[in-house]
Amino acid sequence: MASIRAVAVFGVAVTTACAAALAAVPVSAAGAATAGTGRDSGRGALVGEPQRLRAMTAGEVRTWLASDEFDVDGVRHGVDLYRLVYRTVDVRQRPTVASGLLVLPRDGKRRLRTVSYTHGTMSYKKDAPSTTDGVWGPGPVVTYASAGFAAVAPDYLGLGEGPGVHPWKDVPSETTASLDMLRAARHAAADKGRMLERDVLVTGFSQGASAALGLARALQEGGDRWFRLRAVAPISGAYDFENAELPALRDGELPPKLSVAYTAYLLTSWGRLHGLYRTPAEVFRQPYADRVEKLFDGTTPGPQMLEALPGSLDELLTTRGWAMLRRPSGAFARALDVDAEVCTAWTPHVPIRLYKMDGDEQAVTANTDRCRTSLRARGVDAPVVDVGERTYEGSRHLGSNLAGTTMIVRWFRGLS
């Protein structure tokens, strides 16, 4: 079984911060929702002023990134980090707020090209890029900004300063939160005398790889009147959960504890979203049925969540729970189809590369292969880029984020 510290989807929660913590300033999302700023009150409008979290020189950026194994060869500038709270919509299209991280390069330029980075899975609210005291979550965003981009990272709904429970693996809400974060970043940058150019370079890791494709699709289809898609480069996504990831979870291709954590998170999240069960006891065995939803409501730190889960799916799932995984039907099957649409239901008209690592122990590489096949069927050449051999705390999946970020910075810098 993999070490708990190698659990990538929850790895942010259990990774030690080797560098100075972000000077986080708490913001109450509930109180902020009524604060008002005098701006347009629509989606993407800022709630309150941007919270400056940290300023770093280029030398400080190198030290900070290197402390958690990020490459520093692309660092050119110092950076300023800001937490934004902004208006968006929830999974039912009702008004809510979310938070995210904006990082601006200290390069003296007024006009900035923009990178949107969508993060990997986490279950604890405070691990989000704009609220964590670690390096892993905001590391890619700082990497892009230090290379000269305006870098944007939504926390998603229900993480960071956002109210409620995070709807994990819900591409529609990841897309709206990401699009509205771009709008909020444009407002915040203007307040600092900077202007975000129209073209957006889109990337993301793990859960964020699907989110990145969802955002890319929305931008290409005119989801915003200002921003437009320039290129997209997701890393190590679970793009085909039904035909690639679920079989790996069921059949022992993933370490058992990881299979348990991912399965529990998926069923509890989609249970809330899609009514997969009336009570947890229908799909989860006791004593886990009484605790599993609480473990994934955003208030339980990653290590505690993992400790409270069993070591195998047989200990976790009832007969009905197993049947759902083996033969998805009804609302579960429909939700899986929607999740896969990031590769099956649109035709990218911009450069796209799919980054992966062979032997990924979490987002098995069959996901990337199937995504490429789906895009090819639509006439899209989406090269698969192998990021090589890189691990982080024993995890190839996490290592792919480090290696992929390094390669994507170079690619994005070379795009005119």
Q: What is the mean pLDDT of residues 23-42?
A: 38
Whole-number pLDDT of residue 11: 42
pLDDT tens profile 186-207: 999 999 999 999 999 999 999 9
Looking at per-residue pLDDT, the higher value among 2 and 329 belongs to 329
Looking at domain 4-240+350-414, its CATH class is alpha beta
Residue type, 32: A
* Per-residue model confidence (pLDDT) at position 40: 53
Residue pLDDT, tens place only, 280-312: 999 999 999 999 999 999 999 999 999 999 999
| Residue 16 confidence (pLDDT) above 70 | no
Mean of all residue pLDDT scores within the chain? 91
b/e map 64-101, b = 16+ CB within 10 Å: bbebbbbbbebbebbbbbbbbbbbbbbbeeeebbbbbb
Q: What percent of the chain has pLDDT over 70?
A: 90
The architecture CATH gives domain 241-337: Orthogonal Bundle (1.10)
Per-residue confidence band for 36, with pLDDT thresholds at 50, 70 and 90: very low
Domain range summary for the chain, segments of one domain joined by + = 4-240+350-414, 241-337
The DSSP 8-state label assigned to residue 250 in this structure reads H
Q: Does residue 27 surpass a pLDDT of 50?
A: no
12 φ, ψ (degrees, to nearest 5): -55, -40
Task: Find the mean pLDDT for residues 265-269.
Answer: 98
3-class secondary structure, 172:
helix
CB count within 10 Å of CB 199 equals 16
Amino acid 41: pLDDT: 60
> Hey, how many other C-beta atoms are within 10 angstroms of the C-beta on 3?
12
Q: What is the DSSP letter of 334?
A: H
Tokens found for residue 397: 């999946």
The per-residue pLDDT for 138 is: 98
Helix residue ranges per DSSP H, 221-318? 246-250, 256-274, 292-295, 302-308, 313-316
Reported for 49-53, long-range contacts at CB under 8 A and 24+ positions apart, including other chains, are 49/191, 50/82, 50/83, 50/84, 50/102, 50/188, 50/191, 51/25, 51/27, 51/82, 51/83, 51/84, 52/80, 52/81, 52/82, 53/22, 53/23, 53/24, 53/25, 53/81, 53/82, 53/83, 53/101, 53/130
Contact 364, 248 (CB under 8 A): yes
User: pLDDT: is 100 or 11 the higher one?
Assistant: 100
Res 85: pLDDT: 98
| Mean pLDDT calculated for residue range 2-6 | 35
Per residue, the 3-state secondary structure of 147-168, as one string, reads CCCEEEEECCCCCCCCCCCCCC
Q: Same CATH topology for 4-240+350-414 and 241-337? A: no
Q: Kindly tell me if the per-residue pLDDT of 2 is higher than 90.
A: no
Global pTM exceeds 0.85: yes
Whether 370 shows a pLDDT value over 60: the answer reads yes
The pLDDT of residue 76: 97
User: What's 222's DSSP letter?
Assistant: T
For residue 64, report the phi and psi dihedrals to the nearest 5 degrees.
Answer: -65, -45
